[in-house]
């Protein structure tokens, strides 16, 4: 969950990045974001709790993280000697910011993708916090991302288009020909699609770990008897309601 203040500051950061990073396309992008603002601010990044960021404000939080992770990976790849030519920082950030745009749904009232799951059973037993709107056409997320951008007259380069389209990497079978090239000529001309895929994966993994670590006492893998004892002690102190059972575990470690 995000605090209301964090949701607000995330959105302000998001909108300021639009103006700062894409000045020649800001007019068209701002029209898109003005239209979809109410929905985008509050929408999640996924529907299932154990996927990633399945809570209010989760989408914007995820996209900002993907942009930051991709930037960090760019620096790491550059430092390690990868060929970073063939695309600009603007193209990289544009693809990162819009890779999941299709999750917003179609323009117009009632055309959102994610609707709050009202069934307690599904929330508790399946972790399904949102359900998919059955009244809009089925789309793969990248397809709708690209359709929305063209609907609002936002021009994009082939490099940006391709990175958005195949950012799911080999998770999507349709991307296979781009990643499993049979000739040198067919290989990707830049590493941007791979970089963005890794940035997205990294962000989603971080978000999953945050969810997991909030569900139950943090899993700790102690190395020695002493750290093992301390870890369990900390666990008990930080989780008083766990009470007796943790104390029992603590004493059993002391008996090792």
Q: Are 101 and 45 in contact (CB under 8 A)?
A: no
Shortest distance (Å) from residue 94 CB to Fe ion: 15
- The Cα-based distances of 125 to 122, 166, 181, 212 in angstroms read 5, 32, 42, 16
Shortest distance (Å) from residue 62 CB to Fe ion: 6
Shortest distance (Å) from residue 162 CB to Fe ion: 16
- CB nearer to Fe ion: give 58 or 236: 58
Shortest distance (Å) from residue 100 CB to Fe ion: 4
Phi, psi of 194 (to 5 degrees): -70, -45
Shortest distance (Å) from residue 229 CB to Fe ion: 40
Number of residues that bind Fe ion (CB under 5 A): 2
Longest dimension (CA), the chain: 69
Can you tell me the distance from the alpha carbon of 61 to that of 2, in angstroms, rounded to the nearest whole number? 9
Query: Between 59 and 98, how does the x/- string for binding to Fe ion read (CB under 5 A)?
Result: ----------------------------------------
Q: Are 65 and 201 in contact (CB under 8 A)?
A: no
**168 is a contact residue toward Fe ion (CB under 5 A):** no
- CB nearer to Fe ion: give 56 or 63: 63
Give the residue, chosen from 61, 91, 100, 117, that forms a contact with Fe ion under the rule CB under 5 A: 100
Long-range Cβ pairs for the range 236-242 (8 Å, 24+): 242/217
- CB nearer to Fe ion: give 41 or 249: 41
Closest to 195 measured CA to CA, from 174, 179, 216: 179
- CB nearer to Fe ion: give 117 or 200: 200
- The Cα-based distances of 165 to 39, 45, 114, 122, 236 in angstroms read 23, 18, 21, 31, 47
Shortest distance (Å) from residue 99 CB to Fe ion: 6
Shortest distance (Å) from residue 66 CB to Fe ion: 6
Query: Between 183 and 212, how does the x/- string for binding to Fe ion read (CB under 5 A)?
Result: -----------------x------------
- What is the DSSP code (8-state) at residue 219? P
- CB nearer to Fe ion: give 91 or 200: 200
- CB nearer to Fe ion: give 25 or 197: 197
Is the sign of the CA dihedral 210, 167, 56, 41 positive or negative?
positive
DSSP, collapsed to helix, strand or coil, labels residue 71 as helix
- CB nearer to Fe ion: give 63 or 156: 63
Residues that bind Fe ion (CB under 5 A): 100, 200
């Amino acid at each position: 969950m995000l605090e209301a203040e964090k949701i607000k500051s995330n959105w302000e950061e998001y909108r300021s990045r639009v103006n700062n990073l894409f000045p020649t396309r800001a007019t068209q992008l701002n029209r898109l974001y003005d239209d979809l603002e109410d929905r985008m601010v509050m929408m999640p990044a996924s529907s299932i709790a154990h996927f990633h960021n399945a809570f209010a404000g989760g989408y914007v939080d995820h996209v900002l993280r993907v942009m930051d992770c991709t930037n960090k990976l760019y620096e790491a790849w550059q430092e390690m000697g990868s060929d970073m030519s063939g695309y600009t920082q603007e193209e990289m950030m544009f693809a990162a910011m819009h890779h999941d745009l299709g999750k917003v749904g179609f323009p117009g009232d009632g055309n959102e993708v994610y609707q709050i799951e009202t069934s307690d059973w599904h929330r508790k037993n399946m972790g399904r916090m949102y359900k998919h709107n059955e009244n809009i056409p089925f789309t793969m997320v990248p397809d709708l991302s690209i359709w929305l951008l063209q609907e609002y007259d936002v021009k994009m380069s082939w490099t940006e288009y391709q990175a958005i389209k195949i950012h799911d990497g080999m998770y999507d079978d349709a991307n296979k020909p781009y990643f499993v090239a049979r000739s040198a000529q067919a290989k990707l001309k830049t590493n941007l699609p791979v970089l963005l895929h890794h940035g997205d994966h990294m962000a989603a993994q971080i978000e999953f770990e945050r969810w997991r670590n909030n569900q139950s006492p943090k899993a700790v893998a102690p190395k020695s008897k002493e750290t093992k004892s301390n870890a369990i002690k900390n666990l008990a102190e930080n989780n008083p309601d766990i009470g007796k059972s943790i104390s029992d575990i603590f004493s059993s470690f002391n008996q090792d």
